[in-house]
Amino acid sequence: MASGGGLFVPEYFPEVTAEEMEAMRGFDYPERAALILGKFFDEYDRGELSEALRNAYASFEGDDPAPLVRMDNGTYLLELFHGPTCAFKDMALTVLPYLLRKGSDLLGLKEQLLLLAATSGDTGKAALESFRDKKGIKVVVFYPEEGVSKMQKLQMCTQEGENVDVVAVRGNFDECQSGVKRIFRSEKCAAALKERGYLLTSANSINVGRLLPQVCYYFSAYLDLVTADQIRFGEKVDFTVPTGNFGNILAGYYAKRMGLPIGKLLCASNKNNVLTDFFRTGTYDAKRPFYRTMSPSMDILISSNLERLLFELCGRDPALTAERMKSLSATGRFSVRPEELAKLGETFYAGSTSEDDTVECIYEFFEEYGYPMDTHTGVAMNVARRYLEKLEEDPESEKRPMVVISTASPYKFPQDVLYALTGNDVKDSFKGVKRIHLLTAMKVPEALKAVRYKPIRFKTTVSAEKMFDEVLAFLC
């Protein structure tokens, strides 16, 4: 976080030229990502960056870290769950250790790094796995005690590595995230860490090193569509993104600002529909009931990365952005001007879906295609289908190919996915995994198979007020 309390943003959005787009058609994913990231991290050696990306994505199952799956009627699924923790957070977090270490070296920093993360389930495990036993870095992950799936909790609490700590927090994700931000803003905390020889950084998407690698898969998906003769260069494509903290969809917005021909970005929310209401009314109001849902990674009421979008929306006015963030902190709400809301509508569309509709969508999609989706992808698909139906009713509407971002393996949420597919409840996550596999024949990721037999290492639970005390105890 910046010294004034806000978030870092790019000084400008570098352009990806038509010539570069044409060249990237023949690149594999690491090469494409190196070109895109190199435009932001221009101090990094391009060859070394490319090698680091290739090493990072070598840990993914299959030849392509981000394969595009064609359905019909111009709808596609972008699978981002083939990494070591079976969620889209791997797309950036496998790269982040290199970016942080190399960045520290370029700046001549000698201190160790302390990486803090608040997680609604996926970021935590991806950070733990990417940074485990990395020299000069320690990791502390905080998760809401009752706010993650059983499989997500098992993944984190069985984590191996001598440099990691996992802590449950009494409360929801917003309280975890607010606690981490308090630590970042506190001069007292910074002094205590400096005394112990540590500099603070984050694995959440408040860190641009987490955010910017996510821009790459939007470009890659578009290039795959062109290469497969599904679209022509320059033709616009829509993306539907299941969103909680707004980082994933903001990466799509950044890609558009860099010249990628994106039409609409559909912001898909679950029952915690604060973003849907904001895009429809212009008022962001976090003072509302918090719901625990079957898509826990989206159970968020304070979407950190929206601040970055607001900064662009108001013409990069830092004072106005700070005023709105101050209002959100003090009152739980802020509003944008009518002309700003209209501007948002040119790029964004927002929709939300109930628990019942998410279940129905997962079931119907499997019946139609034999393809099992996780609960977050189910939210996104339901919003995308409703949007496409709305376009069908309007003969003058522009219909474009639709890419739905698939953010996690269905095996990460086996009980809820099994219920959606069969109507059957199971209490044990691994029974759910077995039954989904028998039903769908979808391969079970090796990483999830292994979790079953690992011992529970982390059992600590604290209040939000005691989070930094746990950090200091871990460092001693």
Phi, psi of 244 (to 5 degrees): -125, -60
Tokens in use for 230?
Answer: 């599904």
Given a contact cutoff of 8 angstroms between Cβ atoms, the answer to whether 166 and 80 are in contact is no
89 is an active site residue: yes
What percentage of the chain's residues is helix, strand, coil (to nearest 5)? 50, 15, 35
The single residue of 39, 89, 181, 264 carrying the catalytic annotation is 89
d(CA 133, CA 120): 23
Q: Tokens 């993650």 label which residue?
A: 148
Contact between 470 and 165 (Cβ < 8 Å): yes
Mean pLDDT of the chain: 95
At 171-205, the pLDDT tens digits run 999 999 999 999 999 999 999 999 999 999 999 88
Three-state DSSP state, 354: coil
Name the band, by pLDDT with cuts 50, 70 and 90, for residue 476: confident
Domains and their CATH numbers in the chain:
68-87+211-409 (3.40.50.1100), 89-204+456-475 (3.40.50.1100)
According to the model, what pLDDT value does residue 236 have? 98
pTM of the model: 0.95
Burial of 333: CB neighbours in 10 Å, binned 0-12, 13-18, 19+ = middle
Kindly give the residue spans of alpha helices, DSSP state H, lying in 393-428: 414-422
Question: What is the distance in angstroms between the CA of the first residue and the CA of the last residue of the chain?
Answer: 25
| pLDDT tops 90 at residue 5 | no
pLDDT on residue 365: 97
Per-residue pLDDT of 390-404, as tens digits, reads 999 988 888 899 999
Q: How far apart are CA 120 and CA 180, in angstroms?
A: 13
- Provide the percentage of residues in the chain whose pLDDT is more than 70: 100
What is the average pLDDT across 458-465?
96
Q: Which residues contact 220 (CB under 8 A, 6 or more apart)?
A: 29, 32, 33, 66
Average pLDDT over residues 346-373: 97
The Cα 58–Cα 56 span in angstroms is 5
Q: Which contacts qualify for 276-282: CB closer than 8 Å, 24 or more apart?
A: 276/350, 276/351, 276/352, 278/306, 278/350, 279/344, 279/345, 279/348, 279/349, 279/350, 280/350, 281/341, 282/335, 282/336, 282/337, 282/338, 282/340, 282/341
